[in-house]
């Protein structure tokens, strides 16, 4: 089976089927996510707090992001792999931004990149246009854009104003400009259902929501939240497993077995080759 392509994503949406996306940051988890049947894997900059031990997404470097993406590509066969461009890997200049985005396809083998756009964001619309012209598929990201947390004064829910607000108007306008620039899909994060519905109805590319309610064309979750692996308590997410407990219990069993001299047993040791 070959990898999901931008055409497959469009066709699935056109057929009225919900699109599924999860994050992954390394090969072993990505392998299971792929086997579980998601359409898209996002190597999110949420790796910052969910994989690399930072407080948030801002410190993630392009080297770390390229390395995480390459690991996810190596661990998967079917899902389309989308690399999230980390904070300030784009924006300093068009040239630098294009080169950095290109690294994810050339060096890591990603299928597409994702970048965050503030309402009315001129630069990222221009960058999207350039990347698409060069053959790099782009996923947009509007609403709550965590890379701008400091500028916003905290991780505020941006779309709370409702579907008829000036904010919603601006979001729809920005979404339309991103579509014109060539995005193949659009993440909507942390908006009210009404805002996400309005944007979804306004654009002809699939929208993928996180904390944006029921009316987007697909859903994305952060894998560590879904698995209960150091999960944050995020009301709008859903935890499907409790890996923290599974891991702690496995480690405690190992410690108990070694301290109780039950591991290793004779069957865990090599037999001598000469049979002595
Ligand atoms: O980095 C990330 O995980 C994301 C998702 C929340 C969409 O951008």
- Name the closest-CA residue to atom 8, ligand 1: 44
Where residue 1 falls among pLDDT bands split at 50, 70, 90?
Answer: confident
Would the pTM of this model clear 0.85, i.e. be above it? yes
Q: How many CB atoms lie within 10 A of CB 248?
A: 11
Distance 116 CA to ligand 1 centre (A): 10
Asked if the model's pLDDT at residue 9 lies above 80, the reply is yes
113-127, 193-207, 230-244: least confident range: 230-244
Average pLDDT over residues 14-26: 98
> Which pLDDT tens digit goes with each residue over 136-192?
999 999 999 999 989 888 766 555 678 999 989 999 999 999 999 999 999 999 999
| Residue carrying the six token digits 């150091």 | 230
Check if the beta carbon of residue 21 is closer than 8 Å to that of residue 41.
yes
> Which pLDDT tens digit goes with each residue over 95-114?
999 999 999 999 999 999 99
Percentage of residues of the chain with pLDDT beyond 70: 97
Lining ligand 1 with CB less than 6 A are 23, 42, 44-46, 84, 141, 187, 189, 210, 220, 222
Percentage of residues of the chain with pLDDT beyond 90: 88
């Amino acid at each position: 089976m070959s990898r999901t392509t931008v055409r497959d994503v469009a066709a699935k949406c056109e057929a009225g089927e919900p699109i599924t996306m999860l994050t992954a940051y390394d090969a072993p988890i990505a392998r299971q996510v792929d086997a579980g049947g998601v359409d898209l894997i996002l190597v999110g900059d949420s790796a910052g707090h969910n994989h690399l031990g930072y407080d948030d997404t801002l410190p993630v470097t392009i080297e770390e992001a390229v390395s995480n993406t390459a690991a996810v590509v190596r661990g998967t066969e079917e899902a389309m792999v989308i690399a999230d461009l980390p904070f300030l890997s784009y924006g300093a200049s068009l040239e630098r931004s294009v080169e950095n985005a290109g690294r994810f396809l050339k060096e890591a083998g990603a299928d597409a990149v994702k970048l965050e756009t503030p309402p009315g964001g001129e630069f990222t619309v221009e960058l999207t246009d350039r990347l698409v012209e060069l053959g790099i598929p782009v996923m947009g990201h509007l609403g709550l854009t965590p890379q701008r947390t400091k500028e916003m004064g905290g991780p505020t829910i941006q779309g709370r104003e409702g579907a008829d607000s000036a904010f919603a108007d601006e979001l729809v306008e920005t979404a339309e400009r991103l579509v014109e620039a060539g995005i193949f899909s659009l993440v909507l994060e942390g908006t009210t259902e009404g805002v996400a519905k309005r944007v979804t109805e306004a654009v002809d590319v699939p929208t993928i929501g996180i904390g944006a309610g029921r009316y987007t064309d697909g859903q994305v979750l952060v894998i560590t939240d879904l698995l209960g692996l150091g999960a944050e308590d995020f009301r709008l997410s859903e935890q499907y497993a409790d890996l923290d407990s599974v891991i702690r219990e496995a480690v405690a069993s190992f410690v108990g077995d070694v301290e109780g001299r039950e591991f290793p047993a004779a069957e865990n040791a090599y037999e001598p080759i000469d049979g002595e």
